[in-house]
Chains A and B, each alone.
Chain A
Amino acid sequence: MKQGARAVPNDPNSSTPYRLQSLVNKGALTRLVIIGAAVLIVVGCFAFVGGWLSPHRPTQARMIDRFEQVDGVWPGFRRNHAKGVCIAGNLDSNGEGVRLSKAAVFQRGRVPVIGRFSLAGGQPYVADGPAAVRAMGLSFRPPNGEEWRTAMIDIPVFIVKDPEGFYDQLLATKQDPATGKPDPAKMKDFLARHPETGRALQIVQAKPFSSGFANASYNGLDAFRFVDAAGAATPVRWSMVAAEPFEPETPAQSTAQDKNYLFDAVIARIKRAPVEWHVVVTIGQPGDPTDDATIPWPSNRQQVDVGTLTINHIEGEAPGNCRDVNFDPLVLPSGIEPSDDPLLSARSAAYSTSFTRRAGEKKEPSAVQVPDRGKGA
């Protein structure tokens, strides 16, 4: 019969406690205020978590809004890497990757691959140019369903190290409508606040761009962890290293009348014969930064060639092909895990918002169209 200090329940047969009068006394009003406060605190926490109380915090939506501010809104297209073409082929794994990662894709054998070549930037009809960063997105699809997606670019290091840097960099490099160029003062201010970007840009600018997609090598840049069957983890970075000899882009190429000269060249090249890349895994040593993609690892690090990527098919973006795939860098099989690089989660998040926005929009034809076989490129 112990009741302690607890209130004795009201008589459940009486409707008295439910009447309005029962709320209008001092004790009840105090308790009503407590209830209101409890509800408001929960709602407030929810709003805080959702970012509504901190309008300057970079959220996924604000990151993609910023792309739209800089490049405009192009319904149906990716907010970055908007201009692209679909590719397909195979990965022939040689089995060398198995000692590093238990992922099925590295077991000796053939894995179907679909992918996409693209140029960095949010404008889907932009003219190909000598300084356009080329990119390769891949989705490895082994039969057991453990898919591996990766999105890589052809520069040796990334130019920002964290999402905040990326968010600021977008505005700093936005073209000033008056001059058609980024505002140098803004860029200078940005570089002062992000010295890692200055260092990364020097590394990027030291290396010429390739003359096309087929002879470019594509780097994952962010570090990952390969986990073997025994559970041992190795820090890695990976690259698709072109089997074709590197040739630098020449000024004559970009003065061509063809706005799609890079894409048209790779279409013709793949239609002529398959193009190959070596899947090269670089093994990090203790002390090599895994959380900063602006810093290259020492050039003497061990590299393992785990297989050959062969691209033998190319087609324009269309329903159901690479157009409708999000090359989210964190779609990983068991055996590949993210590192502590803060860019990885941010990329996954931003890609997902970009994908969601364009998924619901009406589609316009892509700039890059692949002529039917037999009619010539």
Chain B
Amino acid sequence: MMAQQLQFTAFSRLLHWTMALMVLAMLFIGMGMVASLSNYHWLISIHKPLGILILILVAIRLVNRLLNPAPPLPQGMPAWQRFAAHGSHVVLYALLFALPLVGWAMLSAARYPIVLYGSLELPPILPHDVALYAVLRTTHTVLAFLLFATFIAHFGAALMHALIYRDCVFQSMASWSRAWVNSPALPK
């Protein structure tokens, strides 16, 4: 019982680390492709299907999160840190939904075909409107930088928990063994 309360479920951890890799790759692909000439095409060919995959996974993850809530934060954590932890998670979920949807919408408004692979295409979700495209294109960039900033905060905070606070927060997601859960320092 204790282990279940202190650790994310195996499925939650699998989702988290799979998406962590995908989202990080996505941020770098996105940044790289808009700056690149020769590498633009192969990068954008990955960017579109990967974005849709992330959209599908974040929807699964939200349902999973509601069914399997996160383990409680340590009681000793100050209120501002709890607020930052919960707030940053809400922001991360919101951005992981918003970025692919805005991407899909902006391509629709630009009347670009939304090719995922081969002849697999997504239908447009907005009418052809270049002024709307311009707004959505800027929004996509702003949200991407926001996601990168939130990721950096999340990454820094995870390392603080692992190396400085040494509470059970980092292990609740990172540990593959349950040995630490039985550590004598934890409340029985």
Cα distance, A123 to B179, chains bound together (Å) = 70
Q: Mark A13-51, 1 if CB is under 8 A from B, else 0.
A: 111111000110000100110110011001101100111
Cα distance, A294 to B78, chains bound together (Å) = 66
Q: Which residues of B contact A358 (CB under 8 A)?
A: 130
- A7: CB under 8 A from chain B? yes
Q: Is the CB of B76 within 8 A of A331?
A: no
Counting chain A CB atoms within 10 Å of each CB, which of B40, B44, B111, B171 scores highest? B40
Name the residue of chain B whose CB is nearest to the CB of A36: B156
Q: Which residues of B contact A60 (CB under 8 A)?
A: 34-37, 40
Q: How far is the CB of A138 from chain B (nearest CB, A)?
A: 15
Cα distance, A2 to B180, chains bound together (Å) = 8
Interface residue total, chain A, C-beta cutoff 8 A: 66
Q: Which residues of A contact B128 (CB under 8 A)?
A: 320, 324
Q: How far is the CB of A334 from chain B (nearest CB, A)?
A: 4
Interface residue total, chain B, C-beta cutoff 8 A: 57
Cα distance, A197 to B173, chains bound together (Å) = 57
A7-B166, A320-B128 known; A163+B37 contact, CB < 8 A: yes
A1-B182, A46-B28 known; A9+B171 contact, CB < 8 A: yes
Q: Is the CB of A349 within 8 A of B137?
A: no
Q: Is the CB of B138 within 8 A of A360?
A: yes
- A151: CB under 8 A from chain B? no
Q: Mark B127-165, 1 if CB is under 8 A from A, else 0.
A: 010110111011000000000100010011001100111
- A289: CB under 8 A from chain B? no
- A179: CB under 8 A from chain B? no
Q: Is the CB of A17 within 8 A of B165?
A: yes
Q: Is the interface of B mostly helix, strand, loop or mixed?
A: helix
- A374: CB under 8 A from chain B? no
- B110: CB under 8 A from chain A? yes
Cα distance, A8 to B186, chains bound together (Å) = 9
A35-B164, A58-B37, A342-B38 known; A3+B183 contact, CB < 8 A: yes
- A260: CB under 8 A from chain B? no
Q: Mark B104-135, 1 if CB is under 8 A from A, else 0.
A: 00000011110000110100000010110111
Could you list 22 examples of A-B contacts with CB < 8 Å?
A1-B182, A6-B180, A12-B186, A15-B77, A17-B164, A42-B155, A49-B35, A60-B35, A328-B112, A330-B41, A345-B39, A345-B40, A348-B40, A348-B44, A349-B36, A349-B41, A350-B37, A355-B110, A356-B133, A356-B137, A360-B131, A360-B138
B residues adjacent to A (C-beta < 8 A): 27-28, 31-42, 44, 74-78, 81, 110-113, 118-119, 121, 128, 130-131, 133-135, 137-138, 148, 152, 155-156, 159-160, 163-168, 171, 179-180, 182-187
Please name 15 further chain A to chain B contacts, defined as beta carbons within 8 Å, in addition to the given A13-B74, A49-B32, sorted by A numbering.
Answer: A1-B182, A9-B167, A10-B185, A12-B167, A12-B186, A15-B78, A50-B31, A50-B35, A58-B37, A59-B35, A59-B37, A163-B37, A326-B110, A346-B37, A360-B131
